[in-house]
Amino acid sequence: MTTRPASYSYDAPLPEKEPLQFDVQLKGAPEEIVQLVHSIKQVGEQFLYHWKTFPIVLPSPVNAVDSAPLSTSADIPYITGGGGGGEGSSTLGRRCGSRPSSLRDLFVTPSFDELDAVAIDTTGEPRRLTAKQLEALRERGEFEVPSLNFPGQVHRWKLSGLLQSGTVNTHDTLLSDLALALRFIIVTAKARLVSHFFSVTQALAALVTGLIKLLDIILGVPSVQAHNLEGKLREERSRYLVAELVCRTDYEDSLEVLCLFVRRQLRRAATEKFEVEREASHPPVPIPYLFYTPKGTEVDLRLFSKEIMRKALPILMSILERETRGWFLHFRERLIVELRQQKRSDEEIEKEVNDAVMREYLERVYAGIHSNTELRELGDGIPQLLVEQAQAVVLMHRAVGNVQQKLSKSKDTLRERLEKNYPVRSRIGPWLRDRLRNAEESFIEECKWSAHEEALTLCNNQHLSQTVYFLNRDLTFMKEREPVLKKELKNDKSPTRVFHWRTHIWFPSNWVVRRSFQGHSEIIPTVLSTTATSITTPRSDPSQPVFLVEKEIIRTTTTRWPLWRWINYCHRTWSWTWNAMFFFGVVIPWCSPVSVRALFCVAPFTPDLELSQVNGTLFPRQSSSTTTMISTLRALARHISKATTQFESKPDTGFIGKGMTRQLNKTWNYIGKGVFGTLGIVLVFPIVCLLSTILCLAVAATAFIWMPAVTLLLQVGMGVFWDLDSPVAERNKYLVVLEALLWDIGVCGLLQPVAAVFVSCVICPLLSLFVTTVGALRFVCRLAWDAVVFHLVIKKRGRIPASDSVIVKRIEGPGLNNNYYYQIRPEQALAAFEAKLELDELAAFQHQMELKIMLPQKDYSQFVAACFGPFSATLARVGAYKSLEREGHDLMTSLQEKLERRRRDLHTGLATGLRSKLKLNTIDLKIAIQQGALMLERFYPTHVLWRLVISEQEFWDGKALQMNDWPGLAALLYADIFSLDFLTPLDESDTSFRLEASPQVDLTRYSELVRGAGGLDLLGPVYAPRANIQVHSPFLDVSAFNPRYRPIQNNKNRDTGTGQSTIQTTLIGGGIGGTVGRGTRWWPSVRPWKRPEHPYSAEKLVIPLPIPHPAQIALTIYNRDTDNPIPVDSETCRHVLRGLEEGGDEGTGVARYRGGAGDGGSADTISSSSSSQRSMGEPWADWTTGAAGGRPKKSSTAVRVDLASPEDITLDSDSTRVVFSAYGTTV
């Protein structure tokens, strides 16, 4: 808050303070407490107070009238002096002229009701149509009548189609009918023969699809796929960019030590467990960031350092935000006026102004980066690197935009040529879109490298040698290497599904036991032991080995080869037969609770074995202990004896007594349990054991007979009901044979071509002939009818209507549409502006008074907090403080009432829709802005700013304006009074009406202000009209400075297919709905007849270029010059590289800074070490492929165990199956 200006005269009486009085009564309190409280009371009455009087006198109105006459222009506020030039000679006066009594009379909406006056002539008779109006009716079916009250405006009337359509409209209707007739021939009929939907060619494709489906379900058609083709291409692309780089001489030792560090980390990972990425984030030497090209050009990649970017990005964000303020509006409007003076079109002006604004913004940002001391402290040349990186990104985006603009222009030119040369066919939407689509595809094929070449040209002009080198390398790869690599990678295909057939090993002595220790795995002899050990689960101690047992023989088949279904049938029959024989011939007769061992053995037996983690031996699993008949009888006898003893040991406290219940207990135990239980075991159990054994042995002995029949029925059921062995997940699995026979072959293959040919050769020509005939007849009849009605009715009886009716309707005129503006006078704008100044003064006065009213309560709270806060005492809203609150509330209410009465007189009462339509012309707007700025300069410092609690600099910063930018502040206030569109003056093409003030309103004082305006050129073209020109505020994303930023690629490369074989792609798609790509449903889309659009997006040029991290570049250089390369494609090496890229990151988790805004994916995004998925935006990420067809693991019954070995092992709880993976063991 500033002090009150000396020039400000405010004679309101000051408020008077009165000390607070406290009534303290302490009866029975100790003397010390009484003295203490009285001391506090005296201090409180000395410091605390309330307002005895608080006069609320509002500031005088801005236009307060003084009785003294106006003698000179200096007595009129805001008016410039006659001989001084520039500013007025007086301060803001409150003594001249009066404001309108009510601002609501300042803007009176004009009435548009003039139809009655327009419809009659000077004699009072209805006005007849003129020859020009009759000619317009004959041509268009409509006519215009000039407005009386609004010069330059017309009322346009349109006749009903029953009376007159117009020769032009009739001819246009004929062309539309001919276009519709021609569409049936050249579009619909042709599409029924050759198209992607409901055509003969689609029928042939569906027929082939159905036959292949039948062959596949009966025999098995090969199904292979090239996995992750795009990812491999991106990886090779990033490697090719840096393949020729060499390390600087002074960094060669660091490179050697770094590569030795990576090799040592790989060896450690093979023998012990540790967090690879975390330890790799602290390499023993700095990563080399400086390299040379073969021609000796230095390549500086220090911006890949995460530490540098972490420090630089906040500074860059502040620079980007700071350089957007204070220049954009003036710069934009000046350019618009200059280009308008050159008679440029709006499109050219918009493009050039946007380009110039962006160039100016970038120059300011680059200058700010070069001059920033904090960025220079990050390293020598870092600001220049940041500028060059941003320039490269901006220029590459500009290159893409130039190519897209070239494509857009070529399409517009083609559209205009087609509409000119083919007036009928150009009305057919599908035909026109097909021509434009073909032209776009041709353009994309011809200009596929145009974005690279344009970017090279722009970067060469800016002397960005480093970017030019990588662009040349990238262009060479895309032209020469990518087609060859794509062909090679497409040939490297893997089956879409892998099947595993497991056969159980019958004898435990043949089970395979493996010993894994420090990265090595070996098979050890299988030893059966009767001695149990205490450790049976794998240990996490790296110094202890891990033993694993394999109880199954696993055979594998794939969908790579023909007849794979019958191969699966053979393996399924073989595996299921042996497993059935094992289950029915060994497990049930020999190991189950109803086996012969349970019948004849005396002691319980343990049929299952478990593996010892101490010495790798197999010993009986106690949890599988099975009782026999003899052991069951013994257990029954012990149970009866125990139950009897327990009964006798209890005291005789029951209701009946043991004398009677003893006999019941003995009867139940000895007869019920003993006799009948023993008879049941002895008689029933042997029969069950013998019958189950004989039956199971018979089933096992005949398994080789009935099992092939079962698997054959399953094979048939997979084709008829549900395809269990479906090679592709996206393919339909239900009723495959019926789908192939009924839908693909029957409907799509046989009925579709017949229907398509019938539609093409019969229906379409008949429809075309019918439409042509009807159109010609309608054209002739329409012309005849229009001529008869025109000559018999309109020409003789036509006159100008005064209202709408059934046969005529007004379609255009003053006030009818919403695309018009109200033009006001600058005097009206200044009057409303002056009221806004007074409102601002009242708002500042209100805030000032509220603070002063609340001051006693604030001091009271601070007094209590200072004196009693250390004793945990709080303020209670009772007594004196409650009186202060009530007094403050009353003063606040009185202040609000007075302010509200004044504000009611200061509101213009303009509705929101009306305010957005008020405008001035260019000269009047400049006058309003200039005089408003002068009023502000005289008024604000002495009436508003000194009342604010913030400093003057904070006030201007809050408005996003420079210090003392009074014209800018005046523009903001005008936008607040009216709307933002008010600052755009009226153009010659705008429809406008005068909005005058009420005749009772005296605007003489403001007219003097307008006449006294001078020096309008000082404002320049700040508020020139923009019409349809859209100029965007400059913006640069901070990610442009980060070379590691990778946006998410939503669009798919048009040159990269799914990677599936042709046959398998046919199986997935086909039919009337057309071919559907991977990852989509098999049923047709909502509008399958629409061809998919592939707009040009310059996907060949990746922005920024996918340059790998310098750590990976170092390994590439090392592998190129050595005979013992480092396996950079291994999973462990990828973890090490990610740790090196993180460089000194703290914390348990490894995460990267996402260099940029929003949701865009970044190459800096790192997933956890246990994840198998990587960001698709990072070209050197992990391109792993998952194995298909494996049996799903039961995660709910797994336990995580860390091993010393780099292989991780998974033991399924149901089959003890062994699976090897990386970094972590699941058991």
SS (H, E, C) 799-853: ECCCCCCCCEEEEECCCCCCCCEEECCHHHHHHHHHHHHHHHHHHHHHHHHHHHH
Alpha-carbon distances, residue 687 vs 596, 599, 694 (angstroms): 11, 10, 10
Residue 1222 is assigned to a structural domain of this protein: no
How far is Cα of residue 751 from the mean position of the Cα atoms in its chain? 45
Those residues whose C-beta lies under 8 Å from the C-beta of residue 1203, and which sit 6 or more positions away, are 273, 516, 538, 540, 542, 546, 1209, 1225
Residue 1094 is assigned to a structural domain of this protein: no
Domain boundary among 676, 694, 715: 715
Residue 532 is assigned to a structural domain of this protein: yes
| Percent share of the chain, pLDDT over 70 | 82
- Label residue 1000 by pLDDT band (50, 70, 90): confident
Residue 1119 is assigned to a structural domain of this protein: yes
Q: In terms of residue numbers, what domain contains 1155?
A: 249-287+1109-1180
What was the pLDDT predicted at 1218?
34
Average pLDDT over residues 666-681: 85
Residue 949 has pLDDT above 90, yes or no: no
Over the stretch 401-443, which tens digit does the pLDDT of each residue have?
Answer: 888 888 888 888 999 999 999 989 899 988 998 888 888 888 8
Residue 1177 has pLDDT above 80, yes or no: no
Domain boundary among 1145, 1160, 1180: 1180
End-to-end CA distance of the chain: 72
| Cβ neighbourhood burial of 1003 (10 Å; 0-12, 13-18, 19+) | buried
Residue 445 has pLDDT above 90, yes or no: no
More confident residue, 97 or 411: 411
Cβ-count burial 1089-1120 (b if 16+ within 10 Å, e if not): eeeeeeebbbbbbbbbbbbbbbbbbbbbbbee
- Label residue 102 by pLDDT band (50, 70, 90): low
Average pLDDT over residues 709-738: 90
Q: Is the pTM of this model over 0.75?
A: no
Residue 941 is assigned to a structural domain of this protein: no
Over the stretch 157-170, which tens digit does the pLDDT of each residue have?
Answer: 898 888 888 899 99
What was the pLDDT predicted at 785?
92
Residue 494 has pLDDT above 80, yes or no: yes
What was the pLDDT predicted at 1076?
40
Are 593 and 601 a contacting pair, CB within 8 Å? no
Tokens 């110094």, located at residue = 543
Over the stretch 1061-1075, which tens digit does the pLDDT of each residue have?
Answer: 545 444 544 444 444
- Label residue 959 by pLDDT band (50, 70, 90): confident
Residue 1122 is assigned to a structural domain of this protein: yes
Over the stretch 269-291, which tens digit does the pLDDT of each residue have?
Answer: 666 655 555 555 566 667 888 88
Residue 508 is assigned to a structural domain of this protein: yes
CA atoms within 13 A on the CB side of 667: 5
More confident residue, 784 or 253: 784
- Label residue 98 by pLDDT band (50, 70, 90): low
Residue 535 is assigned to a structural domain of this protein: yes
What was the pLDDT predicted at 1172?
34
| C-alpha to C-alpha distance for 1010 and 1200, rounded to whole angstroms | 85
Number of domains into which the chain is organized: 2
Domain boundary among 693, 715, 737: 715
Are 441 and 448 a contacting pair, CB within 8 Å? no
